[in-house]
Chain A
Amino acid sequence: MPVSPKPLLAALLVSSALTAPALAQAPAETTPDPLPAATGTTTPEATPAVDADTDDAAGAPEDEIAAPTAAEPDPGTQPQQSARAPQPQPAVGTDWPFWGGDANAQRYSPLDQITPQNVGRLEKAWTFHTGDLPTGSAAGKYSPEVTPLKIGDNLVMCTAMNNLISVNAATGEKNWEFDAEVSNDAIPYGATCRGVSTYTAPDLPDDAPCKVRIIEGTLDARLIAVDEATGALCQDFGENGQVDLWQGIGEKVPGWYSVTAPPAIVRGIAVTGAQVKDGQAEDAPSGVIRGYDAVTGELVWAWDMGAPEANRNGPPEGETYTRGTPNMWTTATADEELGLVYLPMGNSSVDYWASNRADYEHDWSTSLVAIDVTTGEPAWSFQTVHRDVWDYDLGSQVTLIDYPNGDGSTTPAIILPSKQGDIYILDRATGEALTPVGEIAVPSRGDLEPEALSATQPVSEWHTLRKPDLEEKDMWGFSPIDQLWCRIQFARARYEGFYTPPTTETRWIQYPGYNGGSDWGSIAYDPERGLIIANYNDIPNYNRLIPRDEPLAPPIYEQTDGGDAGGKAEGAGDPQVGAPYGISVNAGWRNFTGIPCTSPPYGGIRAIDINTGETVWDTPIGTARRNGPWGIKSYLPFKIGTPNNGGSVITKSGLIFIGAATDNLFRAIDTATGETLWSDVLNGGGQANPITYEVDGEQYVLIAPGGHHFMETEVTDEVVAYKLPRD
């Protein structure tokens, strides 16, 4: 099942043989690159690039993309002639300029003031309250997941409902706030804004408003740009600083089409997808990916997999982008040098039924897709699930590294984690796997739509976070009685192991469940120690396709109160209109006491050697202090390994900072051993990626413990910064 896009720039493409037959890729445009290969370490991509005065085309992007081939440089020409030249990227260290830390999304900081030796003395520096807490129908739907950026003296962040706030990074005092005025009915599954992006417009004078701007996507599907210094809307961007992403999507149904991730800004183009609320209908908003000029807000290109040529500049008046196609709800990674953006694509809008999908959906679903931002055309793709009927969306942002080839040289590469736990390493330019990829036979294709499902699935033979298949003895409980009940459920369900096909006669067990493996928190990478740090979930789902004659929730467009469907677990009775069945998901497969049917640990954190792919250490993450039957907090300080959401930060000094687990602890882990050296109790759930930065010679570590409705942790509006006490 090759997923290769047809080579679009034949002159620039070189065909390549593939080791894994089902994982076809087309090699990328090999744009000549004046930049030295990025070191990918502590000062990535800080190399000054060509002058920005070739950026005139940025003011007229429509013209450029109207004739993309004409705008393409011939092989061998200098990139100065291309429409958009690479710009130097800010480095991580004193600042935390990108959601993923540096431009490579490594979540690695060169700061080293806080060390394994002194971390035990870490204490709160300040707590900031954003003021954004659920009101009215938003109750029970908050999952802010926010990670601020630190730029200069300030932190900039969004809140769950997309208000933008700038805070003094040393004191936690507010500089300014922009009220996005998002209404509660725009909340899709949860009120989430994982972060914002910043862009410095190279052509604007240094003192111009919005020279440095903050760009966010909102739950009600707007791109908003404000001045980093003042919070004032950028008048040069879109209409009054805003772009309406509902354009070309179709009927506006609040909460069905929402942006929760920061845009990736590549060569002056802000690239965004959107979360299309899962499981509603096959006729759903498009998964189109769009690139907007980061200065003017004009559409530069759209990648609509169903009509890539016809809709490149947007659909004709009265029409929409192709409906129901796989979307990207998570964070893309920009590759400024290659001019690519790496899109971790999700699945089609109806996750658990494959027969009605078009070929292009089969081809692109649950794939990492590299788009050439200068043309809007795909350069290559790498598929991690064929014919996904398990909601195994790619949820993690990919990380760019220099992969050691083993002979002392390195290859610019991508770490691609998946919800199934597989970790792939791909060549950035071509999408070819640099580590072994296998293709396993699935246990069966089931009885419902065997022809629509794939007989084989890809796996990483280099490293997987996935554990062995479940057995009856893996059933758990607090007593023999609930354990017995889970054994009966296990015996009655259809379960043939990894990739058991969906069923309707009985429940089926999906393991790993849709929370991963690796989810939106993504992995962190320590380039000096050569370690991947991956936290992961290890918990099944207990699912059933529901025939239409049984009760199902109405689709979102028929709900009078659009808010009703939010908050609960995704897939818990979703209608999947257009498919023969709805879907019921018991996320985490919890029994009548509310605890999972399977044995802990439910989550862990692992260090993986980049050179060998072998596990250096692996330990459960999360204590039992907040967990117990019927939601009773046990206060047991024992490490049990809880479900977790949110990634980690690595510091040069050998520490990993991470919240993520449902025990509301924020902890520092020794990179060398996996031992927890320090922890602090947060007032809410730490389901957000932390950051670290420096002000006036002092290193801070920060997390926004906003909590998470699905993870059942307390919601707060807090942002908490820690530092060492002054001696």
Chain B
Amino acid sequence: MVAPSTSPHARPRTHWATTLIAIVVALLGLPLLGLGAWLIVLGGSWYYALAGLGLVIVAALLARRSMAAIWLYLLVWLATLGWAYWEVGLDYWAQVPRVVAPTILLVILLLFTPLLSGRKTEGAR
């Protein structure tokens, strides 16, 4: 029996792996967005809510298997690097919570690029 997913023409609109990663990214993004909004109300940094919002949108794009998810996450990741450097410079230990987890997520998302489709080529593979 040939699995339906091996045929580009029979490819379903979703894939279990992209659905899973979309859920994971949403579960990371929603607390950042929610708690980050609370932090803004408390007068603290805006980074977390904005990053959380970015992740929620990334999750939605992943669920739609859109390559835009990767590009948006790259933007979030680069912004994170810039913000982290602005806050604590090159302090090695201070960078750990700011860049390690987002970079691990970047690597994981990049592994998903074969399962995603760019807008122009959607449905063509």
Footprint of B on A, CB under 8 Å? 472-473, 476-485, 487-488, 490-492, 599-601, 640
Contacts and interface: CB of A to CB of B under 8 A. Distances in A.
B87 interface: yes
> 4 closest pairs, A vs B, by CB?
A491-B42, A479-B101, A483-B97, A477-B97
Contacts of A478: 96-97, 100-101
Given A479-B101, A480-B98, A473 B88 contact: yes
Counting contact residues on chain B (CB < 8 A from A), the size range is: 20 to 34
Nearest to B94: A599
15 contacts: A472-B44, A476-B94, A477-B97, A478-B96, A478-B100, A479-B97, A480-B98, A483-B97, A485-B35, A488-B38, A491-B43, A599-B88, A599-B91, A599-B94, A640-B93
A481 B91 CA distance: 19
B39 interface: yes
A62 B5 CA distance: 98
Given A480-B101, A481-B32, A485-B35, 6 more contacts: A472-B44, A476-B97, A480-B102, A483-B97, A491-B42, A599-B88
Nearest to B99: A480
Contact of A488 (B35, B87, B88): B35
Contacts of B45: 472-473, 487
A485 B36 CA distance: 9
Interface string B100-120: 111000000000000000000
A466 B26 CA distance: 41
Contacts of B97: 476-480, 482-483
B48 interface: yes
B44 A487 contact: yes
A212 B119 CA distance: 90
A493 B51 CA distance: 24
A488 B94 CA distance: 17
Contact of B39 (A476, A482, A491): A491
B51 to A, nearest CB: 7
A720 to B, nearest CB: 30
Contacts of A600: 93
A472 B51 CA distance: 17
B93 A488 contact: no
A472 B100 CA distance: 19
B28 A484 contact: no
B101 A484 contact: no
Nearest to A482: B97
Nearest to B104: A479
Given A479-B97, A599-B93, A484 B48 contact: yes
B27 to A, nearest CB: 10
B85 to A, nearest CB: 12
Contacts of A492: 42
Contacts of B98: 480, 483
Contacts of A479: 97, 100-101
Contacts of A472: 44-45
B14 to A, nearest CB: 27
B96 A484 contact: no
A601 B96 CA distance: 13
B69 to A, nearest CB: 19
| A472, A478, A481 — most chain B CB neighbours (10 Å) | A481
Contacts of A640: 93
A601 B93 contact: yes
A236 B118 CA distance: 93
Contacts of B87: 473
Contacts of B96: 476, 478
B94 A484 contact: no
A485 B31 CA distance: 10
Given A481-B31, A599-B93, A640-B93, A488 B101 contact: no
Nearest to A478: B97
A487 to B, nearest CB: 5
Contacts of B43: 491
A484 B51 CA distance: 11
Given A473-B87, A477-B97, A479-B97, A484 B35 contact: yes
Nearest to A620: B93
Given A488-B35, A599-B94, A601-B93, A480 B42 contact: no
B39 A484 contact: yes
A375 to B, nearest CB: 53
Contacts of A487: 39, 44-45, 48
Nearest to A484: B48
Nearest to B51: A480
Contacts of A477: 97
Contacts of A473: 45, 87-88, 94
A484 B32 CA distance: 8
A640 B93 CA distance: 8
Contacts of B101: 478-480
A719 to B, nearest CB: 34
B93 A480 contact: no
B28 A488 contact: no
A682 to B, nearest CB: 24
A640 to B, nearest CB: 6
A485 B38 CA distance: 10
Contacts of B88: 473, 599
B31 A488 contact: no
Contacts of A490: 44
Contacts of A599: 88, 91, 93-94
| A480, A481, A484 — most chain B CB neighbours (10 Å) | A480
Interface in B27-78: 28, 31-32, 35-36, 38-39, 42-45, 48, 51
A424 to B, nearest CB: 31
B92 to A, nearest CB: 8
Contact of A484 (B36, B93, B100, B102): B36
A600 B91 CA distance: 10
Nearest to B42: A491
Nearest to A599: B94
Nearest to B93: A600
A436 B32 CA distance: 48
B48 A480 contact: yes
